């Protein structure tokens, strides 16, 4: 083992971002906010220890690893207290607000504008930035850069709907958004001619919706400006079930296609001018010109984490080509991860960050050595062999990216799709050869001369893409629901996958042992709650004998999240009735529909669960979880064997973004 690690010593630097991620994720697992001494002491201690143990390789490796773990911890602590967002903790109904629009997204299927507003300094509760919905039925529609005054209701961000749910408060905290809400009317609108890049994004989205229609327009908008909110739930599900969801999110595929097309067109165009080719190195000039062009597309797409990662990789690839070096390697990916974690350390817990880097990590590990050997052997083959190699490359890219991301998707989304390879074999060439080139021409026509034919090509390409997604998603095996895996599953798979990809000697195959161990944990079903009770008492769900009984409207956010977490296949409505879960535990759903005679004869159990309020049981029951409890303490989870009650808020600890009220 020691000899193998010595041979891999040049690859150990690739583990730096991994260690930083461990420190960042460790920070988010704490129940209490650490003190500044707890943050600085490990950094100082391991820095001094590294100097002392530098001559001993094994100790130097371990000390360096702990140093970067502590640095990751310190970076996220610094970012948390630098942002220092004061989140709203109470409802503010119909108050006067005034501010400037900084972002604006339109949802056609809901007829809503989602507006991010930078508020004036005299706003109630010292609010500075909020995100509000505004109906398009109103006559005054603001754009990015406009100043508005109006009447709005503001609401605090809610807690996660379960222990594994998405934390909207934490996301809003790091974005600096203090509240969400609804804008009822605009009493004053001051138009502005300046709005910067956000105004261009909004105008370009509007332009695409005028030229195209329906889902085609929304997908075209998503591929150019990154605004995906207008895509309907049905289309999103079809793309997810067919394994094509990555096409809707601007990431490495889109950035590489834009950069590659720009590089190819510009280089060919300059090569046609003899005066330039004789005096200048066209390839190097094109490499440097590609970087700002790609940056413009990333900025236009909204600077998502996958897009930023792809831009850094593209930038390093262009610089490497200009210096006659290999464009894609693990060091570029490692440096990219470090840069993102330094600026956006909170992205370490982001699903998009983890999926993006795992896919690229697997692809580079394959293309770094095995692919190059195969490509060198086929350099002198005829056109048929080169076409076969291209098809083989698409197949291998799809297989590797799918294998790298499926275990992570399983943990976060609790479902599998087995048909993604078939859909990607059509979707990737379609996106690369038709949709993205047509999108670039459409954007170019927006800024220059308006021509119609690129929109026709783009429309037909997107229609084929939607048809592919809908067809494959209807196949058997496209949507296999699973129960929530344990945290150990993700840890073992992540460590094994990193070990397999980052090392190159036989030592790498030890990663398969950890990955196999992660699959073994899936056989042990996690003990999930038997009853879910939403805050405000709006929705209750009971899990019993592989059937999920849910009260409330289907399609609600609570409904969807709980169903996915439990991996439920059989869904039944939970009727308004009294349910005796055990001799001591009774659940009453929607008691306001029960008659007076019911409550007159009702005998209070030791433990009462209800989404209403039964006053007589406040005195006679030992424990009551009712509407008032849910309003005060938020969503509750209940286990029956053994009996345990836990509010989701109690699992979040005392952190800056947690609502302690």
Both tokens of 70, joined, read: 């502590």
How much is the pLDDT for 196? 74
Alpha carbon distance 651, 628 (integer Å): 20
With a cut of 70, list the residues of the chain below it in pLDDT.
1-6, 194-195, 369-382, 385-386, 552-556, 576, 661
Q: In 146-230, where do the E strands start and end?
A: 147-155, 179-190
Q: Give the predicted TM-score (pTM) of the model.
A: 0.88
How much is the pLDDT for 659? 80
Alpha carbon distance 453, 392 (integer Å): 32
How much is the pLDDT for 24? 96
Please state, as a whole number, how many other Cβ atoms lie within 10 Å of the Cβ of residue 443: 20
How much is the pLDDT for 23? 96
Per-residue pLDDT of 367-376, as tens digits, reads 876 555 555 5
How much is the pLDDT for 553? 62
Quick check: 71 and 20 in contact, CB under 8 A? yes
Secondary structure element (H or E) that encloses residue 416, with its range: strand 415-416
Quick check: 649 and 634 in contact, CB under 8 A? yes
Per-residue pLDDT of 310-347, as tens digits, reads 888 888 888 888 887 777 788 888 999 999 999 999 99
Alpha carbon distance 366, 397 (integer Å): 9
Quick check: 122 and 499 in contact, CB under 8 A? no
How much is the pLDDT for 30? 94
Both tokens of 461, joined, read: 């390409």
Alpha carbon distance 411, 490 (integer Å): 7
How much is the pLDDT for 552? 66
| Strand ranges across the sheet with 570-573 | 570-573, 547-550, 540-544, 531-533, 636-640, 643-647
CA 404 and chain centroid, separation:
16
Residues 373, 379, 381, 386, CA torsion sign = positive
Spatial neighbors of 451 by CB under 8 A, at least 6 apart, are: 441, 445
Quick check: 431 and 440 in contact, CB under 8 A? no
């Amino acid at each position: 083992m020691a000899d193998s690690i010595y041979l891999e010593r040049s690859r150990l630097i690739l583990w730096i971002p991994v260690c930083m991620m461990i420190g960042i994720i460790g920070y988010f697992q704490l129940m209490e906010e650490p003190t500044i001494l707890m943050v600085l002491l490990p950094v100082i201690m391991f820095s001094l220890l590294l100097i002392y143990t530098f001559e001993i390789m094994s100790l130097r490796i371990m000390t360096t690893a702990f140093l970067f773990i502590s640095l990751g911890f310190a970076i996220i602590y610094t970012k948390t207290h630098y942002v220092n967002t004061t989140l709203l903790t109470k409802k503010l109904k119909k108050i006067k607000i005034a501010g400037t629009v900084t972002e604006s997204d339109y949802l056609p299927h809901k007829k809503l504008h989602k507006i991010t507003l930078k508020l004036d300094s005299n706003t109630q509760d010292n609010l500075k930035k909020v995100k509000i919905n505004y109906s398009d039925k109103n006559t005054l529609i603001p754009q990015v850069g406009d100043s508005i005054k109006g009447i709005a209701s503001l609401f605090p961000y809610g807690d996660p709907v379960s222990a594994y749910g998405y934390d909207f408060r934490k996301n809003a905290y790091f974005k600096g958004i203090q509240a969400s809400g609804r804008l009822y009317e605009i009493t004053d609108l001051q138009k502005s001619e300046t709005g910067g890049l956000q105004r261009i994004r909004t105008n370009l989205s509007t332009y695409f919706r005028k030229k195209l229609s329906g889902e085609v327009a929304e997908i075209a908008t998503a591929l150019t400006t990154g605004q995906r909110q207008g895509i309907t739930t049905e289309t999103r599900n079809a793309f997810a079930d067919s394994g094509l969801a990555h096409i809707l999110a601007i990431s490495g595929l889109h950035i590489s296609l834009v950069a590659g097309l720009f590089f190819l067109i510009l280089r060919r165009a300059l090569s046609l001018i003899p005066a330039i080719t004789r005096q200048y190195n066209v390839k190097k000039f094109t490499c440097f010109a590609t970087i700002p062009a790609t940056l413009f597309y990333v900025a236009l797409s909204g600077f998502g984490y996958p897009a930023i990662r792809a831009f850094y990789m593209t930038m390093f690839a262009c610089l490497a080509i200009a210096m006659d070096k290999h464009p894609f390697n693990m060091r570029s990916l490692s440096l990219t991860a470090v840069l993102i974690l330094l600026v956006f350390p909170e992205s370490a817990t982001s699903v998009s960050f983890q999926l993006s880097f795992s896919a690229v990590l697997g692809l580079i590990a394959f293309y770094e050595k095995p692919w190059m050997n195969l490509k060198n052997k086929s350099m002198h083959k005829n056109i048929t062999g080169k076409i076969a190699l291209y098809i083989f490359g698409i197949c291998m890219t799809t297989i590797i990216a799918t294998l790298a991301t499926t275990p992570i998707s399983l943990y976060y989304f609790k479902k599998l799709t087995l048909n993604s390879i078939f859909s990607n074999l059509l979707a990737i060439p379609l996106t690369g050869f038709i949709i993205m080139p047509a999108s670039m021409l459409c954007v170019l026509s927006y800024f220059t001369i308006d021509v119609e034919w690129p929109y026709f090509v783009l429309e037909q390409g997107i229609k084929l893409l939607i048809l592919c997604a809908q067809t494959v998603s209807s196949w058997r095996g496209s949507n296999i629901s699973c129960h929530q895996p344990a945290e150990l599953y993700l840890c073992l798979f992540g460590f094994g996958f990193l070990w397999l990809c980052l090392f190159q000697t036989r030592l790498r195959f030890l990663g398969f042992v950890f990955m196999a161990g992660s699959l073994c944990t899936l056989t042990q079903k996690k003990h999930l709650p038997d009853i879910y009770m939403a805050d405000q008492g709006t929705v209750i769900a009971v899990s019993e004998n592989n059937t999920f009984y849910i009260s409330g409207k289907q399609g609600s956010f609570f409904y969807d999240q709980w169903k996915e977490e439990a991996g439920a296949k059989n869904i039944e409505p939970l009727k308004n009735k009294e349910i005796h879960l055990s001799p001591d535990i009774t659940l009453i759903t929607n008691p306001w529909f029960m008659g007076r005679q019911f409550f007159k004869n009702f005998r209070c159990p030791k433990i009462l669960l209800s989404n209403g309020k039964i006053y007589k049981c406040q005195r006679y029951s030992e424990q009551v979880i009712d509407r008032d409890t849910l309003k005060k303490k938020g969503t509750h989870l209940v286990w029956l064997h053994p009996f345990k009650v836990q509010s989701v808020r109690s699992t979040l600890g005392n952190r800056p973004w947690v609502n302690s009220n």
